[in-house]
Structure 1
Amino acid sequence: MPKPAPHANQVSIELTSPQSVNGRRAAFQSLWLLVRMQHAHEAGADVVRLADLRGEVSDASTLRMVVSRAFRDFKAWGIDAGWGEDTQREPRFLNAERRSQGPFWLPAAEAKRVRVLVEGRAATAAEVASFLGLRSRASRQAAGSPPPDAVHLQDAAFWKQLVASQQAARQGRLMAPIAGEKAGENAGGNALESIRLAGTLAATDFQRALVTLNEAMLWRRLGDNEQARRRLQALKKQRLAHHVAGNDYLGAMECIVSAWCAYTARDLPLAQSLLSGMAEDAVRALVLRHHPDVRFEWCNLWALACRSRALALAADDKPAAAALAEESLQRFGEALAAAFESHSFDAAQHVAANMGMAAWLFDRVGLADLPALAHDGNADTTRRAVQWIAFSEWLCGHTDGQGRSAWNAIYLMRIARGHCRPERQPTLVQFRAQKPLDPAAISKLAGPLADAFDAANWPARWVQVAQARLADHQAGRRRYPGLQHCSLLFEHAWYAAHAGELKAAEQSLALLREALPQLVPSDRAYFTESWNDQLPAELVLEAKPPRRPAARRKPTSRAGVAR
């Protein structure tokens, strides 16, 4: 059917790929923003805010570029779009330097000129909503008609496989065993293979999108941000191309996993910008308020970002650091409540350990006198931190099939040697004269939670604790992502050197050297500085550390504490 010729004063937008404006190919982001503004005008919302763009056509790091390109395209299309809170002003009088801050809107006269088409005919409200990734009331099925994602008996196979993948992830079997593992052992039993098998069984758009989301979450846990972001891009396309049942949840989790990727890359402004945009978005804010799993993820990650910022500011701006530390502990508390609201011991054990480590780190940088830490005057900060981490470990032991957490061991080994402050680059004699807390002393600090540290998983020496977890990783029984693996290697090297086992320490440092390139620069710098300054000079001489960065800086306390 030939497309109707557009009126001379009209702007015709074709939503079907390849998208076009007045018959000419158009940049997707620019066209999306124009349709979103026109949709907002018709819905009575008037404006489109930056938060509406984040996670849909861009992320916080590229928003300015996307907006600039869009307004250049609008000018070429003859559209006068506006920005700012005052929607009554004429766009030609607005300050272009503030344009990237939004919000964006179409004057009524401009909105009337826009015609949105699908294959040449006027687009329905449901089609526009599907293109924009919005939930449309007009797209709901009429009463009595079967829903598009009706439950079928064959769905049971998909859900069974999805559960198998999630269970494998909880147990630490994230991907295929390392090279050299016996063929067939754990075959098909790891999370990555299981989620991909679930993808072959998915029969609906929602199931396929759920597989994509879970795979993105899995790659994020594995520390592969590039793969995680690829799956997030695939999820975005799935959500924009189809009106997917559960779209609000998928959109919220897509935003959170994107923020996790930013946090893992140590881009804290981007991580918090994505989370803020989610909280400010009307639809996603409702999901955040009423879905405890989403609320847990949001609060836990926000708290981690605040913790990192507080630690970085503590030396230069203590009041600002204290405010951030207080907010971090408050959000950890909200995350813990959300975890128990959703009956998730797995989530609870993560945030309990995060809270304990936060308390200890804040004490280390002079932020121990926080109101959130002042409710129990009889407990010192180290005891409080150990008890929270012991609670996390206790939860691990009481979750069916839950593997023991490497983070808990890493945290406790750091706390155990935390009061040891030798001279920089100590001799072996000076180094071995230090007296870190042994596992028995840590268990005593745990008090009523000491039963979390059973002898099978917690040997009598820290070097054995680290060895056992590294052996699990090497044998493929567990797969620890880069930061956890490097942290275990360094802790093993430290405690082996303290026990006089220099050859074992050298072996771990050799493996650490090979693993460091996969970390982000700030985490590499932490291990490089710790290697150069904290280990005995004799060991440093034999196991030559990586070179320090050209612009040397004080190592932060956040490396090795991401979770």
Structure 2
Amino acid sequence: MPQLKTPAPLSIELTSPQSVNGNRAAFQSLWLLVRMQHAHDAEGGLVRLADLRGEVSDASTLRMVVSRAFRDFKAWNIEVGWGEDTQREPRFLNAERRSQGPFWLPAAEAKRLRVLVEGRAATAEEVASFLGLRSRKRRAAEPGSPPPDAVHLQDAAFWKQLVASQQAARQGRLMTPVAPMADSSATGLPVSALESIRLAGTLAATDFQRALVTLNEAMLWRRLGDNEQARRRLQALKKQRLAHHVAGNDYLGAMECIVSAWCAYTARDLPLAQSLLSGMAEDAARGLVLRHHPDVRFEWCNLWALVCRSRALGLSADDKPAAAALAEESLQRFGEALAAAFESHSFDAAQHVAANMGMAAWLFDRVGLSDLPALAHDGHADTTRRAVQWIAFSEWLCGHTDGQGRSAWNAIYLMRIARGHCRPDEQPTLAQFRMQKPLDPAAISRLAGPLADAFDATHWPARWVDVAQARLADHQAGRRRYPGLQHCSLLFEHAWYAAHAGDLKAAEQSLGVLREALPQLVPSDRAYFTESWNDTLPAELVLESKPPRRPAARKKAVGRTAR
């Protein structure tokens, strides 16, 4: 049996002009190869893009340098790996991700390198001098030159501004309010989350702080429903992470992936959203963050559950077994998200997932998936009560979080549940429409049972039309700024309940605003409102309000909104 041929060693001459096996070599390619061997022997194996930047390239030419280096590595017959998992075989790696790094040498390849200075073996000092590592350490040790990660007094101002932005986001003040807030004069700080995070950007002193600002801005734009702006900030974040080896890089990478998946979900591209989340879970570094960082785990589980919920609802009419399996998985993931929220002591996260779980239970019941084991209680299902209690729990959490504004989603979900059993013929007359008997807030409160104290009279008037009107008034006055889907949902619920109360003029006004707001929504969400407008409102109101035309391919949907 023939023996496998051992690859020949590579002789690398560091003295100018640099060479490999006696042949002239590009300095950048040779530098990267030597840097990888040094990392393999002394630093744990990985060379990141930040190690190249400033030494052999700047941020604008990094991709070109890496591409040239790998062409040279192939010519030198040496295998080089990339990515966080140094146990993978380089021949199986995805070349499309190669330019992102980090780079490493397999052990067998590292043994082949012979680093020389004028034909003799290079010393450790000479290798460090060639790579620029010694001068870098000396600069860091000079008096009066604090290390790049040193704590500065300026950091306090940055972190204060970041907290102000996050608090404003929790209170629903996402963009510049129309009316000034009571606390603005006292603090002298911008009162909207977007303004606050941009000011935090001017105070950021480190690469990590700047990347954190970019991530938070992307998250804000996603919540505002502006996918284009969110994706621009995600692209900026990717460049920041690739150009600098910032502390917390694994966390930033994981959150970048989650926000990208949110953008896909908002655009109703469910396969892309699930693909991004799956890829994150399978990635060695990001999967580790997912397992051990409760905030990241909450975001991942909550979004995965929402994707499963949407897929289950879409399949319920054609493939009941597949829909039931997805519905079960959705409820399971919501449960894991809730546990992660409490693990991280985040009532804000917990109230979101509690409401999502309640609405999922109700929607599954609506499409004939009420016999799920997860929805059974004492041998039978009481889905509406269970749904209301989860949403009431969400509202209770809102009321017990300092500075937390009340959730518009909770009101929207409960108003839909309250009228969920009202199913008249399409385009009923006003008289037929008003004969329907939706559950009133008092009845919903009774269903909430021990959680009924979440519905105080201040935030929950006795009529649904007043519940919707109060939240719309907050939006119009600038006390809160609801993103497009929430705003449209409140407008439709107000129109429905105003019409039910006989106030067609108020209903027409809300529908007029809704018509102007609909173009900002994705097509599937527009279709939901178009169908509901044409089919569930009284004929007299439909005639006067001139609803949007139905799409050519008409397809009804159930409950497309999500948080």
Check whether TM > 0.5: yes
Could you give the per-residue CA deviations for residues 270-298 of structure 1, whole angstroms, max 9, x where no partner exists?
11111101100111111111110000000
CA distance in structure 2 between the aligned counterparts of 1:85 and 1:360, rounded to whole angstroms: 43
Could you give the per-residue CA deviations for residues 506-550 of structure 1, whole angstroms, max 9, x where no partner exists?
111110000000000010111111111111111110001111111
Is residue 126 of structure 1 aligned with residue 125 of structure 2? yes
Could you give the per-residue CA deviations for residues 386-429 of structure 1, whole angstroms, max 9, x where no partner exists?
00000000000000000000000000000000000101111111
CA distance in structure 2 between the aligned counterparts of 1:133 and 1:534, rounded to whole angstroms: 72
CA distance in structure 2 between the aligned counterparts of 1:185 and 1:534, rounded to whole angstroms: 48
Contact 2:50 2:243 in 1 (8 A): no
> How far apart are residue 93 of structure 1 and its match?
14
After alignment, is 33-42 or 416-425 more displaced?
Answer: 33-42
CA distance in structure 2 between the aligned counterparts of 1:159 and 1:531, rounded to whole angstroms: 46
Aligned CA distance change for structure 1 residues 230 and 416 (closer, same or farther; 3 Å):
same
CA distance in structure 2 between the aligned counterparts of 1:133 and 1:264, rounded to whole angstroms: 47
After alignment, is 401-410 or 11-20 more displaced?
Answer: 11-20
The aligned length equals 555
- 3-state SS of paired residue (2:114): strand
What's the C-alpha RMSD, in Å, of the aligned pairs? 8.0
CA distance in structure 1 between the aligned counterparts of 2:58 and 2:383, rounded to whole angstroms: 39
> How far apart are residue 17 of structure 1 and its match?
22
Aligned CA distance change for structure 1 residues 380 and 228 (closer, same or farther; 3 Å):
same
Aligned CA distance change for structure 1 residues 514 and 86 (closer, same or farther; 3 Å):
closer
> How far apart are residue 376 of structure 1 and its match?
4.0
Could you give the per-residue CA deviations for residues 206-256 of structure 1, whole angstroms, max 9, x where no partner exists?
111111111111111111111111111111111101110111111111111
CA distance in structure 2 between the aligned counterparts of 1:550 and 1:397, rounded to whole angstroms: 44
Aligned CA distance change for structure 1 residues 81 and 162 (closer, same or farther; 3 Å):
closer
CA distance in structure 2 between the aligned counterparts of 1:333 and 1:146, rounded to whole angstroms: 46
Aligned CA distance change for structure 1 residues 321 and 153 (closer, same or farther; 3 Å):
same
Structure 1 runs not aligned, ≥5 long? none
> How far apart are residue 185 of structure 1 and its match?
12
> How far apart are residue 562 of structure 1 and its match?
1.1
CA distance in structure 2 between the aligned counterparts of 1:537 and 1:544, rounded to whole angstroms: 11
1:164 maps to 164
> How far apart are residue 551 of structure 1 and its match?
1.3
Could you give the per-residue CA deviations for residues 456-512 of structure 1, whole angstroms, max 9, x where no partner exists?
100010000000000000110000000000000010011111111101111111100
Contact 1:410 1:491 in 2 (8 A): yes
Aligned CA distance change for structure 1 residues 328 and 341 (closer, same or farther; 3 Å):
same
Aligned CA distance change for structure 1 residues 95 and 279 (closer, same or farther; 3 Å):
closer
Aligned CA distance change for structure 1 residues 40 and 256 (closer, same or farther; 3 Å):
farther
After alignment, is 182-191 or 480-489 more displaced?
Answer: 182-191
Contact 1:212 1:235 in 2 (8 A): yes
2:103 maps to 104
> How far apart are residue 197 of structure 1 and its match?
0.8
Contact 1:61 1:270 in 2 (8 A): no
Q: Return the index of the structure with the highest Cα Rg.
A: 2
Aligned CA distance change for structure 1 residues 554 and 182 (closer, same or farther; 3 Å):
same
Aligned CA distance change for structure 1 residues 178 and 133 (closer, same or farther; 3 Å):
farther
CA distance in structure 2 between the aligned counterparts of 1:314 and 1:56, rounded to whole angstroms: 58
Contact 2:375 2:381 in 1 (8 A): no
Contact 1:256 1:275 in 2 (8 A): yes
Aligned CA distance change for structure 1 residues 100 and 470 (closer, same or farther; 3 Å):
same
After alignment, is 58-67 or 84-93 more displaced?
Answer: 58-67
Contact 1:310 1:325 in 2 (8 A): yes
> How far apart are residue 377 of structure 1 and its match?
4.0
> How far apart are residue 59 of structure 1 and its match?
25
2:278 maps to 276
Aligned CA distance change for structure 1 residues 419 and 132 (closer, same or farther; 3 Å):
farther
TM-score, normalising length from structure 1? Answer: 0.77
> How far apart are residue 557 of structure 1 and its match?
2.7
CA distance in structure 2 between the aligned counterparts of 1:238 and 1:457, rounded to whole angstroms: 43
> How far apart are residue 164 of structure 1 and its match?
0.6
> How far apart are residue 55 of structure 1 and its match?
24
After alignment, is 398-407 or 368-377 more displaced?
Answer: 368-377
1:337 maps to 339
CA distance in structure 2 between the aligned counterparts of 1:17 and 1:426, rounded to whole angstroms: 87
CA distance in structure 1 between the aligned counterparts of 2:331 and 2:62, rounded to whole angstroms: 31
> How far apart are residue 61 of structure 1 and its match?
25
Aligned CA distance change for structure 1 residues 41 and 415 (closer, same or farther; 3 Å):
farther
Contact 1:15 1:118 in 2 (8 A): yes
CA distance in structure 2 between the aligned counterparts of 1:236 and 1:471, rounded to whole angstroms: 39
> How far apart are residue 201 of structure 1 and its match?
0.8
Aligned CA distance change for structure 1 residues 56 and 301 (closer, same or farther; 3 Å):
farther
> How far apart are residue 151 of structure 1 and its match?
1.6
CA distance in structure 2 between the aligned counterparts of 1:400 and 1:212, rounded to whole angstroms: 26
> How far apart are residue 38 of structure 1 and its match?
12
Contact 1:135 1:243 in 2 (8 A): no
> How far apart are residue 359 of structure 1 and its match?
0.4
Could you give the per-residue CA deviations for residues 320-375 of structure 1, whole angstroms, max 9, x where no partner exists?
00000000000000000000000000000000000000000000001011111124
Is residue 441 of structure 1 aligned with residue 443 of structure 2? yes
Aligned CA distance change for structure 1 residues 194 and 75 (closer, same or farther; 3 Å):
same
- 3-state SS of paired residue (1:183): helix
After alignment, is 107-116 or 331-340 more displaced?
Answer: 107-116
1:297 maps to 299
Identity %: 90
Aligned CA distance change for structure 1 residues 178 and 319 (closer, same or farther; 3 Å):
same
Is residue 509 of structure 1 aligned with residue 511 of structure 2? yes
CA distance in structure 2 between the aligned counterparts of 1:147 and 1:50, rounded to whole angstroms: 20
